[in-house]
Amino acid sequence: MSDGWTERLGWAWDLISYDPARREAAHRILDEARVAYSDALARYNGAWGRPEARARTDELRTAMSHLLPEALWASPPPPDLGVWPGTPYMLLYLQWEQRFVGEWTWHAKYWSAKTSILRDLAHQVQRLDQRHLAELSDLVLQVVARPQRVGDEWYARLAQVLSRQPLYEQLLALAESEDPGIRERAGYLLLVLDGAFPGRPSLRQWQRYLREHHGRDRHVRVRGSTGVPWFERDDEVLVRCPRCDGLASVRRDPNAPPADGRTWRAWCTECDYADVRVTRQARCAGPATELIFGYPLWLQAECHGGHLFCVDNLEKLERFDRYLRARVDLRSGAQYGTVPAQTYLSSWMMQTSRRSELLAVIGSLRDSVRERSGRFNTQSGMPHEAPG
Ligand SMILES: [Zn+2]
């Protein structure tokens, strides 16, 4: 019994094929499914509170069930992963990250999906069949053999509940590796399996192990976040001047003492307009506006299909540029580039057919800043000096 999983997601096995042409074809099917999903989402949002809402909900769920990893959450949580037809696709998602991490990162990087899959599998490990258990054991070893990634602590929790042999034996072999990183990770897992630590494996426990056994505390970035709350950031936001419609800038004044909020300054590069606002609250004045003064963002453009593309500043614009260019046609023999951290493409941006349009939009937005005032440093988009 597959409940239609093979019909809906059978193509997804090609995501981990060693044949680049098959992976390329699978990526394109995923593109199509994403577009169908985002269209269904728009219809669902439009039907909110109306009689057709139920039909739109069903439609949205159906669209979701054609996507990986989203299909795993399109139906109610399964009571038994041992017999659930979605379980092989949980493993497929993990294997995809393992085997083609660049492609996985570009198309379907969801740390929360990875960790929740690992958590669910660990909870129900007793119910899984031998084939799945063997695959999971292999995955644990593959994770040990590559650099650490976000969410890997859940592999340690999984290792704890998998059967000890042959995993332990194989970890002992990895602990003799010439690669110090592999030795370190295998050594940690061996201690976990030996019950050397109180409590369950966690990022903190791993860091403690590094401190105690290797004399350092490697910085591990969690979920791609800078750890700085939005309200504390000094990021500049490029906006349209309310007086002359020219290029203006908004940023937090890092030197101003916080009276009863944060001090934000706006100044125009083309006229003498300037403004100050002390607030502790962002306000959303609408789409594509900055959040303190409510001015329209400078870097915005409507794309084909009515989609709005907007970003705060040139640095973020360049990240979108790099993200889009990181995807290649695998049939050309090239490999995916690195995706910039903290940048996420909306579903509609992920289609290969939109790529040239989006890159052109990014190019013209970049030019629109460079064409303006000489007071802007064209590398960073920062004014040479902020008014006092
Ligand atoms: Zn102005």
Task: Tell me if 376 is assigned to some domain.
Answer: no
Residues 31, 177: one domain? yes
The tally of domains found in the chain comes to 2
Residues 205, 235 share a domain:
no
Whether pLDDT at 226 is above 60:
no
In a domain, 366, yes or no: yes
Of 166, 187, 214, which marks where a domain is finished? Answer: 214
Q: Which of 25-34, 146-155, 165-174, 373-382 has the lowest mean pLDDT?
A: 373-382
- Residue 285 CA to ligand 1 centre (angstroms): 20
Residue 180 within a domain: yes
Centre of ligand 1 from the C-alpha of residue 293, in Å: 14
**What's the confidence (pLDDT) of residue 387?**
47
Q: How far apart are CA 238 and CA 300, in angstroms?
A: 10
With residue 264 as reference, give the H or E element that holds it.
strand 262-268
* Non-local CB neighbours of 169 within 8 Å, separated by 6+ positions: none
266-275 pLDDT, tens digit each: 999 999 999 9
| Model pLDDT for residues 283-318, shown as the tens digit of each residue | 777 788 998 999 999 999 999 888 899 999 999 999
Token pair recorded at residue 263: 């001090």
CA of 384 to the centre of ligand 1 (A): 17
**Do 323 and 178 share a domain, yes or no?**
no
pLDDT digits (tens, 9 = 90+) for 50-106: 889 899 999 999 999 999 999 998 877 778 999 999 999 999 999 999 999 999 999
Residue 381: inside a domain, yes or no?
Answer: no
112 class by beta-carbon count within 10 Å (0-12 exposed, 13-18 middle, 19+ buried): exposed
Ligand 1 centroid to Cα of residue 242, in Å, is 7
Single-letter amino acid, residue 58: D
Q: How far is the CA of 367 from the centre of ligand 1 (A)?
A: 19
As a whole number of angstroms, the distance between CA 134 and CA 316 comes to 43
Please tell me the distance between residue 248's alpha carbon and the centre of ligand 1 in angstroms: 7
Ligand 1: centre distance to CA 315 (Å): 22
| Cα-to-centroid distance, 219 and ligand 1 (Å) | 43
CA of 321 relative to ligand 1 center, distance in Å: 28
- Say if strands 300-302 and 308-310 run parallel, antiparallel, or are unpaired: antiparallel
| 65 and 183 in a common domain | yes
- Which of 214, 243, 267 is a domain's end point? 214
Q: What is residue 116's predicted lDDT score, i.e. its pLDDT? A: 93
pLDDT at position 324: 96
Distance in Å, CA 338 to ligand 1 centroid:
38
pLDDT exceeds cutoff 80 at 219? no
pLDDT digits (tens, 9 = 90+) for 3-27: 799 999 999 999 999 999 999 999 9
Separation of CA 120 and ligand 1 centre (Å): 55
Do 192 and 157 fall into the same domain?
Answer: yes
Do 9 and 140 have their domain in common? yes
Give me the domain span that covers residue 296: 230-370
Is residue 383 in a domain? no
Is there a single domain that holds both residue 118 and residue 245?
Answer: no
